[in-house]
Amino acid sequence: MKIKGKVFVFGDHVNTDEIIPARFLNTGDPVELAGYCMEDTRPGFGQRADIVGSILLAGENFGCGSSREHAPIAIKAAGIACVMARSFARIFLRNSINIGLPLVELPGTHDILENDEVEVDFQQGTVVHFHSRTTYRFQPYPSFMQDIIRHNGWLNYAKNLVYPAA
């Protein structure tokens, strides 16, 4: 699986309250949550048409804070194809995989800037930065985790195990 998209850059320690502010948690509707994605960091970000298919790039400890699953749901429902960061909070990583939101842990990305374009190859474990012509390497997910993402989340993956597609 490959994803090619425009990059939006965020900083270190982006917490779940910044990803989806608590005042918008009176719904579980993914579409409504998407509209408020990163609202306190970048007002209107979740409503931008150009984020569909894009890639969020952040620093250390992305998704820290509360364990709410609304944060990765808001990101995915906004149409963001992947999140790359130097590191992820453990529960955010698990919640993301469970809903089929791909994450890439990538330590050295200092030359990737806002609006640059990259291509992520999950099987090869590479990120190609077109502007600098740099290829970064990351540890690919084990095959079962790639299957969870390919099936759009844990529940669909489990259903496919019980009732395989013909």
Q: What is the CATH number of the domain that holds 80?
A: 3.20.19.10
pLDDT tens, residue by residue, 123-138: 899 999 999 999 999 9
Average pLDDT over residues 27-50: 93
Q: Does 108 score more than 90 pLDDT? A: no
Q: What is the pLDDT of residue 160?
A: 81
- Start-to-end CA distance of the chain, whole Å, equals 21
Cα-Cα-Cα-Cα dihedral sign, residues 150, 156, 160, 166: negative
pLDDT band, very low/low/confident/very high, at 111 (cuts 50, 70, 90): confident
Report residue 166's pLDDT band, with 50, 70 and 90 as the boundaries.
low
How many domains does one find in the chain? 1
Of 29-33, 78-82, 154-158, least confident by mean pLDDT is: 154-158
The pLDDT, as a whole number, for residue 66 is: 84
> Full-prediction pTM beyond 0.85?
yes
State the angle between helix axes of 70-77 and 90-99 in degrees (0 to 180), rounded to the nearest 10. Answer: 50
What is the token pair recorded at 10?
């965020």
Calpha distance 43→83 (Å, rounded): 19
Contact 129, 111 (CB under 8 A): yes
pLDDT band at 164 (very low <50, low <70, confident <90, very high): confident
pLDDT at residue 74, as a whole number: 96
Beta bridge partners of 120: 3, 127
Q: Which domain holds residue 108?
A: 2-162
Question: Residue 45 is which amino acid?
Answer: F
Which residue's entry shows tokens 């408020």? 36
Q: What is the residue type of 114? A: E
Contact 37, 52 (CB under 8 A): no
pLDDT reading at 152 higher than 70? yes
Q: Closest Cα partner for 51 from 9, 13, 107, 102?
A: 9
Burial, 46: exposed, middle or buried (Cβ in 10 Å; 0-12, 13-18, 19+)?
buried
